[in-house]
A and B are shown apart, each in its own frame.
Chain A
Amino acid sequence: MSAIVYAKPYKLRAGALALAVHCAFFVLLYFGASWKAQPPQGMVVDIWDSLPGIEAAPTPVNVEPPKPPIERPKLSKPVPPVALPKADIVLSQKKRHQEKSKPIKIEPKRQIEKTNVQAEQKRQEKLKVQAEQKVLAEQRAQAEQKMIEEQKVRAEHERARAEQADIVAKIRRNLKAELEKAEPSKVIEPVKSAASLKADFELAEKKRLQEKFQEALKSEAKRQIEKADAQSKLKAQAEHKIEAEQKVEAEQKAQAEQKTQAEQKALAKQKIQAERRAEAERRAEAERKAEAERKAEMEQKAEMEQKAEAERKIQAKQKALAEKKEQAEEKERARQRAHAEQKLLEEQKEQAEQKAQAEQRAKVEQERARAEQKAQAEQERARAAQAAAIGKEVAEYKAKIIAKIRRNIVMLPDIPYNARAEFDVTLLPGGMVLNAILVKPSGNAAYDSAVERAIKKAEPLPLPPDAALFNNFRELHLKFSPKE
């Protein structure tokens, strides 16, 4: 029963653990194997998605080129060449007018000729060129793009070309030069035209060139004049500057001299003052030194005294500490002694207790032994009394048994008188004979068998009514002889 009792505290723990195992199992099932039968949604990937990006990329590159033309005007802003571009524009406009008016005049002459087409082509080309020139001129006018240098260069070019034209007197080159002037990037090769056209063009070109040349000369003269003015102005300014600088230098020199003088004076004063100061300082230092020495002496004395005091204090402290330590050690010793004594006392007590226990145990055992001895003695006495009583009864019944068996022996005639047979008889409760064994034969087989038969015949053998006595009759040793 106690085993069930001691198993109880484990029941709750076991139950909790079992629940925990199941919870873990279900959680695992729920999260690990939630069998959703939803088909996986296929990712729709458009392979061509990336290409537009690549196509779109070049566009910013295309956007960039227009920037430079805007940047250029910014660079040329500070230059104010207003007059010359205008002259250029006037030139171009004049050209246009001439070119427009002349082909119209010529047209009636050439209407039949093959060159008509060529003239028309030329005219178209020229119109194109003019339109481009217009655009360029407008751009120039609006943004004030051209730098002075470029204009100069152009003017020089124009001059050179005009001279070349005069010298060479060929129209093609002039035309080429014109075209190059108009737009150097586009080189439009002049188409060979008819002689009349050439003559016309020569005239027109000459006029134009002359006009251009004259205007260029004029502008050159103007520029030169402007330049001279500017140079004169610059010179004047430079002279002014130099004068101003000279003035400034003179003033600076004067100031410097004044300064040096003042400094020399100041230095002299300072020297005197310094000497005075030095003397004063020397005195002061001497006094200070004396004071310092005195102070130092005083301090040394004070220090000595302080040190002495400090040493005294330290000694006193050390003494106090030493005393404390000694006291503490003594205390500890006392404690240890006390502990040791207590331990000794405890041990003694324990020993005493153990002894007392041992004695008690010994006493108890002795008492037990005595009691047992007494009990044994009493039992023996009682048993002896009983045995005496039993012995009588047993003897009586044994005699009865033997008598009963003897009565049943069938005596035979020639049995020796001194024959003696001994039997071991085992009895069962109730007087029945379990077996009878011949222990010592009599020497006469007939007598032995007769006795054996008599034992069997005498069943049930007489037994005492008290069943407790049966043990005495369980195994009997019986002796028989014909004498008795």
Chain B
Amino acid sequence: MDVTQNLSFIHLIQNASVLVQLVMGLLLLVSLMSWWFIFLKMFTVRQAVKQSEEFEESFWNNDDLNRLYQNTSVMRGDSGSMGRIFAAGFTEFLKLKKKHGMDNNAVMDGTRRAMRATYQREMDILESHLAFLATVGSVSPYVGLFGTVWGIMNAFRGLANVGQATLAHVAPGIAEALIATAMGLFAAIPAVVAYNRYSHDITRLASRFEIFMEEFSNVLQRQP
């Protein structure tokens, strides 16, 4: 317990107790995963927004719904969430129209149901992993704190056996323990920021989809 003890970063992690090391490993894993999801969400949300804009533009600039339907059904994967909602609704509409004797209201109900189903599926995909980010943001500080508390407990327990207590006896232990808190915060802060950002983005996307569905229903109802 020299004062000139080597307190480098790696040394501190190596000296920590097994439980604190486990906590640190868990936090590292969680942090890696949360960052992975952050980047994944960033790319997917950005792509979804871009595709929605493109689809809306082509929808409002195109009079012929049949051609638009053919285009979207051909490019399937690239048309984006809004394109898929449109395709599902229009498919259902055509199917119901072929059945004669169907009430116009019934046709519209069926179409709307089909669109809503697709919308729910798309939202589910877009919102995937967001819950994980929220969990990491709220829990990982506590996990880090747990590691810190445990480490400090150990440090003070060691202090009990020494006759003359000096700060030099406790300091390395506390430093070791505090690394766990630092890691927890490192995992939590970006996760919270990303969660808020992406949930906001996805909410906006969802409202956009709903508005589109309503407008598209109106367009279909006007169809002969």
Contacts and interface: CB of A to CB of B under 8 A. Distances in A.
Interface string A364-398: 00000000100010010000000000000000000
A3 interface: yes
Nearest to A6: B77
A10 B40 contact: yes
Contact of B4 (A34, A38, A372): A38
* Majority DSSP secondary structure for residues of B touching A: helix
Contacts of A167: none
A18 B39 contact: yes
A34 B43 contact: no
A376 B5 contact: no
Given A17-B35, A376-B100, A7 B40 contact: yes
Contacts of A194: none
Given A30-B10, A36-B8, A379-B100, A11 B35 contact: no
Contact of A30 (B3, B9, B38): B9
Nearest to A9: B43
A338 interface: no
A372 B4 CA distance: 93
Nearest to B171: A37
A21 B187 CA distance: 11
B12 to A, nearest CB: 8
Interface string A10-32: 11011101110110010001100
A14 B36 contact: yes
Contacts of A372: 98
B133 to A, nearest CB: 13
Interface string B175-210: 100000000001000000000000000000000000
B7 A2 contact: no
Contacts of B65: none
Nearest to A37: B7
Given A2-B77, A11-B40, A39 B32 contact: no
B44 A7 contact: yes
A37 B9 contact: no
A4 interface: yes
Contacts of B37: 14
A174 to B, nearest CB: 89
Interface string B14-26: 0000000000000
Interface in B104-153: 121-122, 125-126
A10 B44 contact: yes
A6 B78 contact: yes
A124 B4 CA distance: 77
Interface string B56-94: 000000000000000000001110010010000000000
Nearest to A19: B32
B76 A2 contact: yes
A13 B121 CA distance: 25
B110 to A, nearest CB: 19
B40 A25 contact: no
B5 A22 contact: no
B77 A5 contact: yes
B186 A25 contact: yes
B36 A3 contact: no
5 contacts: A2-B76, A11-B40, A14-B40, A15-B39, A18-B35
Given A17-B39, A39-B3, 4 more contacts: A3-B125, A11-B40, A18-B38, A33-B9
Interface of B: 3-10, 12, 28, 31-33, 35-40, 42-44, 47, 76-78, 81, 84, 98, 100, 121-122, 125-126, 175, 186
User: Can you list the 8 inter-chain pairs with the closest CB atoms, starting with the nearest?
Assistant: A14-B39, A18-B35, A10-B43, A14-B40, A35-B7, A18-B36, A3-B125, A17-B39
